[in-house]
Copies of this chain bind each other. A is one copy, B any other.
């Protein structure tokens, strides 16, 4: 029985029937050459169902203390652990395209996890075309964050096609081995993990090296509200109302797509921006197009909450170590270069603010400045006073081609959380020279969310033209055909057709 950190427990307290608080990942694979599908998938299921000690808290359920559901929460070992409940075998109906896959993931992602059991489920999915199969895993955000999920995926897969593993993805032993490998690779001195983050008032009582950093940061943060922000974008300040900022229902839409990392890198180099800058500019351009098509482009620009990891290098154990910077997406500007520069400026200001703080101060700062957002959510006011327009999260993933018992890992698409006031979430993972985008939205608030995929491609082409990488004007080049094994974009000619509904 271990008390759950307040930062983690928040995701349990805030969970409602309409707003499950789990994160998901959809991984795509191709069967190894010559492997027989039923036999190979049977072996995969056996691996997923391996009975061995799990890393915490994936063998634990959430227990209440004496104070009940709103008092402190605890992780307690599930002595009735039932692996067949957690590992599930599913199939797609004919014709087994990505469309059918996304419909299934949309459905699975909208369902609450069972609080009586460890808070995760895995679905091995057959019935895809081209000898592909998929694994969708959902885990409660109280148990892990995006970077933590990436480390778990890394621990599960291998860079060698010939490697075989009989370890569950949640295996404690496999994870300890992975950590040892990871730390050896990094050859960095690993600082022992400090005391777990306690709640704000407890921490405030302690002494910082200097409180000046924190007070200075809060002063700059406050200054942005009264127009002295030096490019810093802050929550609530001129955040417009759109269909993205409504209260959400329990149903979701999930869409995903991969882009070549090299295309984005080329724009970075030519336009002098970071990968994150260009990704945000893609999203800003896509959202501007989307809002125009929905006839609801607001006067003020959309603001995106972009989570930043506050994990120390080598900290593979924290379940949640996330702060945020507010990016100005400049959706009110038509010129792509002006949009990019405005976004860069806001990111730079946010980064310099976070960097002025120690990691511990940064986490405290994030907690203090997030308190109003928690309050408006709990009070049901988030859709009336949106703190941000959307969440855009960029999670660094493994760089090399990975394999799962010989099956190539073709794509890793994250599926994150939407909440009242934030009806859409864009998360991307960089893996094997591709950027894998996963977009989750409330099914009712954003029924046309799948169009964002085309808009993202258009926005990237626009940035390529801006950077002089491709000829501009009305004769845009067609996007290079995606590798078959990742989710392929609809061809531009098909765009005028009514988008398929999930």
Show the binding face of A for B, using Cβ within 8 Å.
Answer: 17-18, 37-38, 41, 80, 82, 84-85, 88-95, 100, 103, 107, 111-112, 114-117, 126-127, 249-251, 443-444, 447, 501-502
Contact = CB atoms under 8 A, between A and B. Distances in A.
Taking each of A111, A115, A249, A447, which has the highest tally of chain B beta carbons within 10 Å of its own beta carbon? Answer: A249
A82 B117 contact: no
B88 A91 contact: no
Given A249-B116, A501-B84, A502-B84, A93 B443 contact: no
Contact of A92 (B18, B41, B91, B107): B91
B444 A80 contact: yes
16 contacts: A17-B17, A18-B114, A37-B94, A38-B94, A38-B95, A82-B443, A84-B502, A88-B107, A90-B93, A91-B92, A91-B127, A93-B127, A116-B249, A116-B250, A116-B251, A127-B127
A117 B249 contact: yes
Given A84-B502, A90-B93, A251 B114 contact: yes
Contact of A85 (B41, B93, B126, B251): B251
A422 to B, nearest CB: 17
Q: How many copies does the complex hold?
A: 2
Which 4 pairs show the lowest CB-CB distances between chains A and B? Answer: A91-B91, A116-B249, A91-B93, A114-B250
Given A91-B92, A117-B251, 9 more contacts: A38-B95, A82-B443, A82-B447, A84-B501, A85-B443, A90-B93, A93-B127, A114-B250, A117-B249
A264 to B, nearest CB: 34
A111 B251 CA distance: 13
Contacts of A17: 17, 112, 115
Taking each of A18, A91, A111, which has the highest tally of chain B beta carbons within 10 Å of its own beta carbon? Answer: A91
A105 to B, nearest CB: 13
Contact of A444 (B88, B95, B116): B116
A370 to B, nearest CB: 27
A93 B84 contact: no
A111 B112 CA distance: 8
Nearest to A250: B114
A112 B112 contact: yes
Contact of A249 (B18, B90, B114): B114
A98 to B, nearest CB: 15
Contacts of A92: 91
A480 to B, nearest CB: 32
A80 B251 CA distance: 13
A443 B84 CA distance: 11
A275 B84 CA distance: 37
A93 B502 contact: no
Nearest to A107: B88
A443 B107 CA distance: 22
Contacts of A112: 17, 112
A82 to B, nearest CB: 7
Nearest to A96: B91
B444 A126 contact: no
A115 B447 CA distance: 18
Given A116-B18, A443-B85, A126 B250 contact: no
Contacts of A251: 85, 114, 116-117
Contact of A94 (B85, B111, B126): B126
Contacts of A89: 93, 100, 103
Contacts of A111: 111
A125 to B, nearest CB: 8
Nearest to A247: B116
A351 B111 CA distance: 43
